Structure 1
Amino acid sequence: MLIHKVSLTEMMNRIHNPGYSLGNVLDLYLERLGQLEPHIHAFVPEIDAKLHLDLEQEELLRSYSGEEMKPPLFGIPVAVKDLLHVDGLPTRAGSQLSAELLTGAQGSLVTKLRALGALIAGKTVTEEFAYNGPIATRNPHHTGHTPGGSSAGSAAAVAAGLCPLAVGTQTLRSVIAPASFCGVVGFKPSYGRVPLDGVLLLSPSFDTIGFFTQDLADMEAAAALLVPDWTAHSVEDPRRPVLGIPKGVYMELMSGEVKAVFEAQIAGLERLGYEVRYVKMPWEDELIYGNAMLRFIEGELARGHEHMFAEHRADYGVPVQEAILRGQQIPEEELEQCRRLQGTLRRDLKELMTQEGIDLWVSPAQGGTAPKVEDHNTGWSGMPAVWGFAGCPSVSLPVATIGELPLGFQCIGSYGEDEALLAWVREIGPHLNYKGTGA
C-alpha cells in the first residue's frame, strides 16, 4: 500500500503556529511526490512541476509577507481534476486534442481556492472528457487495481497522502466510485450548488463538482470554505436519523460480498436503535438498469462537442468518438424529456422523504471493490447514478474493506440540503466500520 496520513484540518491549524514554514510544507509535498507519483501516476505530467510550485509559493509569499492573518488554506497543496481550467496550467481533459483548443478561463472555484491561499499542486488524471479512455493512474491500496474513474487522479492523490484535498467532478459515478475504491471520503454536492464556470463539461444537465479528503472532519472543513452559502448545520433533535433503503432492482446491483457487508452494517445500526425503512422508489427500474441516463449524457456530449468534433474527429479516442456518433442520433425531444424527468424525480424524492420520514438514503457506494487494471473497468454507475440524475447530494464514507481493498458506504440527502446530509453522516459514520477477511 502507498498510503500516508494527511489531515486538512491539522494543516489548517498549523498555519498560525509560530515557526510555520511554507517552504517546509512544499518540501514535504515534493518528497512524497517523488516517492509515490512514479507508482500511482495521479497527476498529469508537467515539464517542470517544481518550477510551477515555486511560482505559486512566490506569489503567496508576496501576498502574505508579514505577520498578517493568513488565509485558511495558506500553502496547502490542493489537486484539481484536469477538466477545470487553472491559470498557468494547460487543460488536456485526458485527450489528444491540442491544449490550445481546450484551455479556457479559470473558473470561480479555482479562483476561490487561490484566494484562500491554496497551492494548486497540479492537474489530476481523468478519462477522456470524463467519459471513457485509458488512464495511467493506479490505486494506492493496490497498484494492480483501478482507482476508479473519471476523477481517478484526484482520489488517488488524496488516498496516497499527496494532498489533503482534491477537486473532482461527477456525472454518473465519478466522485463516489473513486472515493469508494481508494478508501477516501467523496462528497458530491447538490447539482448546481458549486458553480461550473471554468469546467469542461461532459453533460451540463448532470455534471457536478465534488471533493475528496481522507476523513469526514476534513470534508466538513472543505465544504464550509468552498460550497457557496454554506451554513453550519447541527442536528438539534437528539434522535438518530431514519434510514431509507430502496426496494427493487437497485439493491441487486452488487456482488454477494458487498451485499453481505452492507447487510452486516445495517444490522449493526439496527442493534444500536436506528430505524431502517425499505421504500418503493418513484422511479422505474428501467432507469436504473437500462441505458436511458447514458443516452442522455451522450446526447449532451455530442452537442457540446459538435464543432470541435467536426474539425478534429481523428484526435478523439475511439470510445468518445463512438459516444458522440451515438449522441448525434438522439433527438432533442428525447433530451428534453430526460430533463423534465430529472426535475420530476427531484421533487418526487423530496416528497417521498417527507412522506416516509426518511432522513438519509443509504447503500453501498459501489457494487464491488476496485477491479483489476486489466479488467478495463473503472466502476459501476448503478448505485450512485440515479441520485446524481435527480441532483441529490451524496457522500461515500471509507468504512469497510473486503480483502485488501476499500468499499465505501453511500449516504444520500435531499436536494439542496447538503449541510443536513453532512450533519447526519457525522452522526452515523462512527457506527459503520466493517473489516472483512484479509483486511
Structure 2
Amino acid sequence: MKETMVIAEHLTRSIEDQAAAVGNGDVTAEELASAVRGEIEGAESRIAAWVHLSTETMNEARERDRDRDYGALPLRGISVGVKDLIDVAGIPTRAGSSTTSADPVLADAPCVARLRELGAVVQGKTVTTEFGYFAPGPTRNPFAIDHTPGGSSSGSAAAVGAGTLPLALGTQTAGSLTRPASFCGAAGVVFAHGTTDLAGVCGLSESLDSLGMLTRTVSDLAYVYSSFTGRELQPSSTDSTGTVFVWDGTALGDIEPPMARLIEQSPTLLREAGRATARLEWDDQVRELARDHLTVMAHEAAITLDAVYNQHSRTLSDPLRQLIDDGRNTSEGDRDTALDRRERARTQLVDRIGRSIIVGPAALGPAPAGLAATGSPVLSRPWQLLGAPVVTVPGARTVAGLPLGLQLIGHPGHEGELFDVAIALEAALRALPPVQD
C-alpha cells in the first residue's frame, strides 16, 4: 500500500483526475476507496450522514482492480454514496422510516447499476428524511452542526459538502436536492423529469420525482453527468438568446438578506463572465406553479403511500400524515387541472425567454439553525413541476461561513448550456468575499 498522505492527495483532485490516476496505476481502486472510507469514518460522529456503510466496498474495489477492462471506465475507483430511497443490492432500503422492511434488497436500482458500469464503487447508503418528505434524520450540517443540512437528500449533501465523498446520488420531488446542496456547499444537478429510469427508487409523486447527483464542484458534476448519460455536453445556441434571466424569488417568500445580496450581485457576475442578463418577469405564473406543485404532490403522495398510511399511520410524522390527508382530499380532477396548467406554462416560458437559462436563489437563505426542520423548498416548487433540469451552484459564503447556493434552471435537452453557465458562475462565486448579513 502506498503512503497514506500520497493517497490522500488524490482525494483533493477532480473526479476525472482521480479516475485517471486509477487507470494509470498511480493509485488502486482499493486504495482510493479505503482512503474515502477513512474520511467518512472520521467525520461520521460529527455529521451523521450515513445510515449504512457497506461491508462489500473493499471487495468491490479489489474486483475492479482485477478487471483488465476497468482502466477504460470514466468513474474508475470513484466512491459514491446512495440516498436511502434508492435500492442497492445487499442493503435494505428503509426510506428514513421504521415502517419499511429491514431485509436487504436483491438488485441495484438502474441508476446505481449504471454508476457501477462506469466504474464507481458504492460506499453505502446516506440518510434521507422520512419517505423524502419533511421529518429529518440525524444528519447535521458540516459547516455548523447545530444547523440543518436540508432535506430530503440530507446525508448525501452533508457527506459531499464535508469533503468526505466525491459523488452522491439523491432525488428531488420539491426541493430535496437543490436546498441541501445550497445549505451544505455542494454542487447538485436535478435531472429533467422523465429522463432517467426511476425503477428501484422509493418515490413520492410520479409526476414530480427526479434523480439527482451531488459533487464538490460543478466541473465534477458536468463530468459525471456526461458520463452517466453518455452525452457530450456541448453548449447550444439553438433557441437561446444568450441572456441569463434573473429571478429574485420574492414572489414566493421572504428572501433573507445574504441571499438577497447575492442575487443582487448575480447580474454583474454573469456580465463579467460574458453573459447578458435581464429580469424574469413571470411572478403570477411562478405563484400558480408553486400552488399547483402542492396539489400534484399531495394527491400523488396519498396514492403512493396509501398502504403505508393504512397500516402505520400512527408511526408516521405529523407533516407526512398531513400531506397524505391533504392528498386524499384532493381530487384526481384537481391534479389533472394542475398538470394541464403546467403544460401551458411550459409553452409560455419558452415563448417569453426561449431556451435561456434562469438564475435564482436555491433557498431562502443559508441553512437555518436547529435540526427539527429542514428549511423551505418553496423556491424549487415551480421549476420541479415544470420538470426542468436544475443545477445548484456553490461557492458563496456568509460572514458566518455558511454556504449560499444559486440555482440555474434550464430546459430539457439543453443541459450543455446549463452547465456552461454554471461553471462560469461557480468560479465567480468562489472569488467573492463573504456576503454580508
Whether these two folds match at TM > 0.5 is yes
Deviation at 1:412, TM superposition (A): 1.2
Distance 2:104 2:339 in 1: 27
In structure 2, what residue type is equivalent to 1:254? I
Q: 1:272 to 1:224 in 2, by over 3 A?
A: closer
Residue 32 in structure 1 maps to residue 30 in structure 2: no
| C-alpha RMSD of the superposition | 2.7
Partner of 2:4: none
Residue 57 in structure 1 maps to residue 61 in structure 2: yes
Report SS of the residue matched to 1:416.
coil
Q: 5 Å matches for 1:318-333?
A: 318-333=318-333
In structure 2, what residue type is equivalent to 1:113? L
Deviation at 1:387, TM superposition (A): 1.0
Distance 1:247 1:145 in 2: 24
Partner of 1:431: 428
Partner of 1:394: 390
Instruction: Report if the CA contact (8 A) 1:282-1:345 is conserved.
Output: no
Partner of 1:377: 373
Deviation at 1:223, TM superposition (A): 0.5
Residue 276 in structure 1 maps to residue 274 in structure 2: no
Deviation at 1:246, TM superposition (A): 3.8
Deviation at 1:235, TM superposition (A): 5.5
Distance 2:101 2:38 in 1: 29
Distance 2:103 2:315 in 1: 12
Instruction: Report if the CA contact (8 A) 1:22-1:75 is conserved.
Output: yes
Distance 2:337 2:34 in 1: 53
Deviation at 1:27, TM superposition (A): 2.2
Instruction: Report if the CA contact (8 A) 2:136-2:374 is conserved.
Output: no
402-411 or 428-437, which deviates more? 428-437
Residue 129 in structure 1 maps to residue 126 in structure 2: no
- Please list every run of 5 or more consecutive structure 2 residues that lacks an aligned counterpart in the other structure: 1-10
Distance 1:113 1:249 in 2: 38
- Please list every run of 5 or more consecutive structure 1 residues that lacks an aligned counterpart in the other structure: none
Report SS of the residue matched to 1:99.
coil
How far does the alpha carbon of each residue in 1:316-348 deviate from its partner, in whole angstroms, 9 at most, with x for none?
333222221221111111111122222222222
Partner of 1:242: 243
When normalised by structure 1's length, the TM-score is: 0.88
Instruction: Report if the CA contact (8 A) 1:138-1:146 is conserved.
Output: yes
Distance 2:289 2:260 in 1: 18
Distance 2:224 2:249 in 1: 35
Partner of 2:305: 305
Partner of 2:83: 81
Deviation at 1:406, TM superposition (A): 0.6
Q: 1:36 to 1:223 in 2, by over 3 A?
A: same
Q: 1:418 to 1:95 in 2, by over 3 A?
A: same
Instruction: Report if the CA contact (8 A) 1:126-1:135 is conserved.
Output: yes
When normalised by structure 2's length, the TM-score is: 0.89
Report SS of the residue matched to 1:97.
coil
Q: 1:90 to 1:68 in 2, by over 3 A?
A: closer
Q: 1:220 to 1:430 in 2, by over 3 A?
A: same
Distance 2:26 2:429 in 1: 39
One of 358, 362, 366 as aligned partner of 2:359: 362
Q: 1:248 to 1:175 in 2, by over 3 A?
A: closer
In structure 2, what residue type is equivalent to 1:398? P
In structure 2, what residue type is equivalent to 1:85? D
Instruction: Report if the CA contact (8 A) 2:247-2:280 is conserved.
Output: yes
Report SS of the residue matched to 1:16.
helix
Partner of 2:407: 410
Distance 2:247 2:14 in 1: 34
332-341 or 302-311, which deviates more? 302-311
How far does the alpha carbon of each residue in 1:16-73 deviate from its partner, in whole angstroms, 9 at most, with x for none?
2234222311221222122101111111145xx4x232343354355x1x47634222
Partner of 1:211: 213
Q: 5 Å matches for 1:326-341?
A: 326-341=326-341
Distance 1:54 1:101 in 2: 22
In structure 1, what residue type is equivalent to 2:413? G
Deviation at 1:422, TM superposition (A): 1.0
Distance 2:72 2:194 in 1: 30
Query: Between Structure 1 and Structure 2, how many residues are aligned?
Result: 424
Instruction: Report if the CA contact (8 A) 1:158-1:212 is conserved.
Output: yes
Deviation at 1:102, TM superposition (A): 9.7
Identical positions, percent? 29
Report SS of the residue matched to 1:90.
coil
Q: 1:37 to 1:140 in 2, by over 3 A?
A: same
Deviation at 1:312, TM superposition (A): 3.0
